[in-house]
Chain A
């Protein structure tokens, strides 16, 4: 039982990273960033290059790939998305363009085969009669640390406050003298960075292929909708719920287990149209 529990925790915590990232980008864009899943994939491949091709130590490779792909995210937000004036239709096309381009690039460079990623640590410890993999525990711990850091940053730092303000109401924030464009790029970068961390973690536990992006996107969309867009705590909550559905549901319900997670989201949305802890955006006119 303990191992399933660990599995659930691990999964959920990384879902949290993924979803929080998407929440940040959504709060900037007012459009679901379809490329989020593929930033996650791209991050994992970047890590593959840095850690294996270049043979850098784990931490350095992690940092570099975050910077690289996060920068890419900021570029997309600043140079492509912003020029489209925040209208939903062109943004969707732009983002699906980025999605396809990233996937194609991955296939072109690394080929379509599935690959393994170097985990930070390996090995197992036995607790009582059940055995726990250190890799998973470490993954969970990293995810926790990142979440804690992010929470502190958003809650207490001045920058974090202005990010939240911008997420709430763009116009008001800009009126209060927040440099909205800077903040947008920043939160896009942070969001993408979180996706990258999640990508490196999850694909190390499972496997990596150019096509993992869409799945990750769907999962994180589910989570942020369930938790309520723009709400980090909501994402945290929802990630664990979806985690339960995916971990325990799969073994209990079997073939139709996807109905559990999807059904939950549908029901919640119909009861609470803004998700669990949703905060209404002030839509721009």
Chain B
């Protein structure tokens, strides 16, 4: 018994002595400094491109606020808070120049993100290179991070893999959702992107016929300014061999709406598939009519139902969604611009965290070498010049269908090597 008492007593004394000693022993961590990370975004806020630009800017700034709420970006002994400034490039060259000027020379930002305007974005690249600050832009619909051009060593291209996506887009869709599809009619917008896509798909003709039993019965281009798709659709309707599916790669939202509506009008009741995403499903349905809209497949893919998105970013995207809903009352649909600006911002933030410094050199090196995590998984810079070079890459995409009044993901094409 004695020993037991002594032991307990010893323990108590030890504890009484130990706790203050421990507290003394651990040195108190010093108070943290706070800094400001100015990030500018150049986005079309006026002019015909603004339907894409305005929500992009808003989502990105919501994201920036959330990052600040989570305690900013700790680097060394400093906590950096993001101040996010948006500037209007009117989706024109001179507008882009003006906004580059405003951001880099007047606002003196640490980095520039956003913008969806190939290849005018290179104007920003030039200014950024001159001022030596990192620029993450969407210069071309290519996957992953890329160095844009040797001339602009600080400029990176983080984009959505449309061009690569279409390579197995239809086969995947067929195997997943539309097994009965045998013949495709192909119409592309007659701009550079559309032509690239058309050539690409034509080059895959044999492969599709052999491996997937898909036959291309029609292909055509409609001019950029064309508003009414009836001429082409009626040709498709009059084909000897009925088309089971209309693939309007590279069609913009208005084009898609017109194709869906008018194909319905002339009695072509077949699925209409396109690669780009919708801006606003509700309005889209109103434009092309409820019945017609039910045939529409797009690559609607938000981070919250994207397989490769890390839990951290899934959660973040859901929070952004919530903030948006509280602010607008309406649901944040995919097209309201996760892909570009907010994603660029995310990439920049994680690059800064990885580099653990805000020096341009370090960040650029990180972006070039390390795997960068963003809303759509993790990408590594290819180091190649973006323009004109076709490359084999993995891509991630989801095709979703309009069901009732919202988009439902149909099939996820995750991490497949392109043939």
Contacts and interface: CB of A to CB of B under 8 A. Distances in A.
A124 B253 contact: no
Given A3-B230, A4-B231, A133-B266, 13 more contacts: A3-B234, A3-B265, A115-B287, A116-B288, A130-B266, A131-B266, A136-B265, A207-B287, A209-B51, A211-B48, A250-B231, A251-B231, A258-B223
A11 B230 CA distance: 12
B316 to A, nearest CB: 25
B179 to A, nearest CB: 27
B280 interface: yes
Given A107-B46, A255-B223, A112 B230 contact: no
Interface string B177-204: 0000000000000100000000000000
Kindly name the residue among A1, A112, A254, A255 whose own CB sees the greatest number of chain B CB atoms within 10 A. Answer: A112
Contacts of A251: 231-232, 235
Interface in B284-298: 284-289
B6 interface: no
Kindly name the residue among A11, A116, A258 whose own CB sees the greatest number of chain B CB atoms within 10 A. Answer: A116
| Interface of B: prevailing SS | helix
A112 B283 CA distance: 12
Interface in A100-125: 107, 111-116, 122, 124
A39 interface: no
Contacts of B59: none
B228 A247 contact: yes
A275 to B, nearest CB: 24
Interface string A129-163: 01101011000000000000000000000000000
Nearest to A131: B267
Kindly name the residue among A7, A122, A135 whose own CB sees the greatest number of chain B CB atoms within 10 A. Answer: A7
Contacts, number: 95
A251 B228 CA distance: 10
A248 interface: yes
Interface residues of A, number: 33
A62 B353 CA distance: 58
Nearest to B232: A251
Contacts of A115: 283, 286-287
A126 B237 CA distance: 13
B211 interface: no
Interface in B160-219: 190
Contacts of A206: 227-228, 254, 258
A250 B222 contact: yes
A257 interface: yes
Contacts of A257: 223, 226
B262 to A, nearest CB: 8
Contacts of A111: 51, 54
A211 B190 CA distance: 21
Nearest to B335: A113
Contacts of B288: 116
Interface string B254-291: 10011000001111000000000001100111111100
A247 B54 contact: no
A114 B190 contact: no
B254 A114 contact: yes
Pairs of residues from A and B, 9 with the lowest C-beta to C-beta distance, nearest first: A251-B231, A116-B287, A131-B267, A116-B286, A133-B265, A112-B50, A7-B230, A113-B51, A211-B48
